[in-house]
Structure 1
Amino acid sequence: MIQEHQKNYQDNSGKQFKSGLAEDNNKTIRLHTATHLLHQSLREMFGEDIKQKGSAITSEKARFDFSFERRLLEDEIVELTEKVQAKINTNYKVTKKEMSEQEARNLGAIGLFGEKYGDSVTVYSIGEDEGEVLSREFCGGPHVKNTSQIGYFKIIKQKSVGSGVKRLEFDVV
Structure 2
Amino acid sequence: MVRIGNTVSPIPNKKALKYVISHSDGLLRVLVLINGKLKTYSKYYQIINNLFVNNKLVETKFYAKYDQFIMDSNGSLQIKFIERKGNPSKYEVRLKLQIPQKDREILDYIKLFVCNTKDINDINNSKGCYIGSCNHKNGNYTYYLETTSFARTKKIILYLDNYQLISYKYINYL
TM-score class, shorter-chain normalisation, is: under 0.3
Q: Which has the larger radius of gyration?
A: 2
Q: Which structure is richer in relative contact order (CA contacts within 8 A, separation 6 or more)?
A: 1
User: TM-score, normalised on structure 1?
Assistant: 0.22
Which has a greater percent of helix?
Answer: 2
Q: Which has the higher strand share?
A: 1
Q: What TM-score do you get using the length of structure 2 for normalisation?
A: 0.22
